[in-house]
Amino acid sequence: MHDIKTIRENPAAFDAAMALRGLSGLSDQVLAADEARRAKIQAAETAQAEQNKASKEVGAAKGRGDEAEFERLRALVAEKKAAVATLNEEAKACDAALATLLMGLPNVMYDDVPLGADETENVEIHRWGTPKTFDFAPKEHFELASVTRGMDFGAGAKLSGARFVVLKAGVARIHRALAQFMLDTHVEKHGLTEAITPVLVREEMMIGTGQLPKFGEDSYKTTDGWWLIPTAEVTLTNLVNGETVEESDLPMRYAAHTQCFRSEAGSAGRDTSGMLRQHQFEKVEMVSILKPEDSEAEHARMTTQAQNILEALELPYRTVKLCTGDMGFSMKRTHDIEVWLPGQDKYREISSISTAGDYQARRMNARFKPSGGGKPEFLHTLNGSGLAVGRCLIAVLENGQNADGTVSLPVALQPYLGGRSLLTLDGTLA
């Protein structure tokens, strides 16, 4: 959420920032709502002062025996009391209207975010590995002979509908091993704290990280009001919702492996084959919560952490900085990491590493208390995939495929597979 004081002080800068999001003239609307709120608050305070003054004068009139004045003042007190109650309710309504308006506005992007209309104008900032040259035409993951028995889309559709899958045998074991490998790397090498969090959350948690109120159609809501998380960003970041933490407790760095749920609204016709885009999937999420002055270095750190996973698995990738037209609603800057998929002959996103600045913290009212004293300050929050497990499975299968349809598995993964190194044609590990 935005700081209304900042908008008041420099509405032109706010409008320029929102223009990069394709929005115009918002400062007038925000400031009008703010002025209405402040006017109601001022009116309520004035009425309260008048009520207090009249209350004092009632006793004096009674003492003088001025019955007429006493009755007039008593009626005035009652009138002002009613006016104060009405104005306070109106002020609350104006305050809620302003908050709703601000909640619906995207974050201000950093100045170094490149200008661009869409993903075609993202800027590559790093590349690692050389895509393997095959002496045969590489296939997509779902076409591989060793995979077809262990990746059952028919069963997923029977159980749940389109964009669900049942993993079995060796494929399921590789998927599980990938998640375990990611978690172990983040905890043991990157120093993150492992967490196990719910996948059902209250509505205010989705508001806190920016999924609501604007993007409710992208997630699933249960009949009793809980929301299924689209990513553990929601649960991990909201650990500090409503809290004021000690500076000595920062930074907080978490990793969690969870099921994730997305409706994929607006993606009809995209990636309908295979398991690249599913309604239910697994992800290892990273979240950092820290002081504002540390967030810039943390974004680079988290990007490197995600890249380390791909390098350990020997998967070629590139990292791009998202342009203004491709940026997420709540973020100030995002690095996308795209892994090479030989079956598609292209790089595809496998991780987004983003910094929100204090935007989410303001929505959550999450602050820290400076160790040297002084007023509590809003925290900064960052999040990133470390990585999307299903997409990593796809990359391992496609990059490791052999001409006979088997898949050679990365060395780093083999300790999690009982030393096995090959997905065989019958879907088992050898």
- Tell me, yes or no, if 420 is annotated catalytic: no
- Please tell me the predicted confidence (pLDDT) of residue 268: 63
Query: Does 262 belong to an annotated binding site?
Result: yes
For residues 186 and 82, membership in a common domain is answered with no
Query: Does 296 belong to an annotated binding site?
Result: no
For residues 268 and 128, membership in a common domain is answered with yes
Query: Does 263 belong to an annotated binding site?
Result: yes
User: Does the residue 31 lie in any domain?
Assistant: yes
From first CA to last CA, the distance across the chain in angstroms is 52
Strands (E), 342-379: 346-357, 367-369, 377-378
User: Does the residue 430 lie in any domain?
Assistant: no
Residues of the chain with pLDDT under 50: none
The residue written with tokens 């900085």 in the block is: 321
- Please tell me the predicted confidence (pLDDT) of residue 73: 72
Query: Does 122 belong to an annotated binding site?
Result: no
For residues 93 and 147, membership in a common domain is answered with no
CATH number for the domain spanning 150: value is: 3.30.930.10
Strand partners, 321: 123, 335
- Tell me, yes or no, if 391 is annotated catalytic: yes
- Tell me, yes or no, if 277 is annotated catalytic: yes
- Name the residue range of residue 26's domain: 4-103
Query: Tokens in use for 287?
Result: 């979240």
Nearest to 140 by CA among 262, 267, 271, 268: 271
CATH number for the domain spanning 58: value is: 1.10.287.40
Catalytic residue among 149, 277, 318, 348: 277
* Number of separate domains in the chain: 2
For residues 135 and 274, membership in a common domain is answered with yes
Catalytic residue among 163, 362, 363, 391: 391
Which amino acid is present at 245?
V
User: Does the residue 315 lie in any domain?
Assistant: yes
User: Does the residue 228 lie in any domain?
Assistant: yes
Nearest to 102 by CA among 10, 7, 11, 12: 7
Question: Considering 47, 69, 103, which residue would you say is the last residue of a domain?
Answer: 103
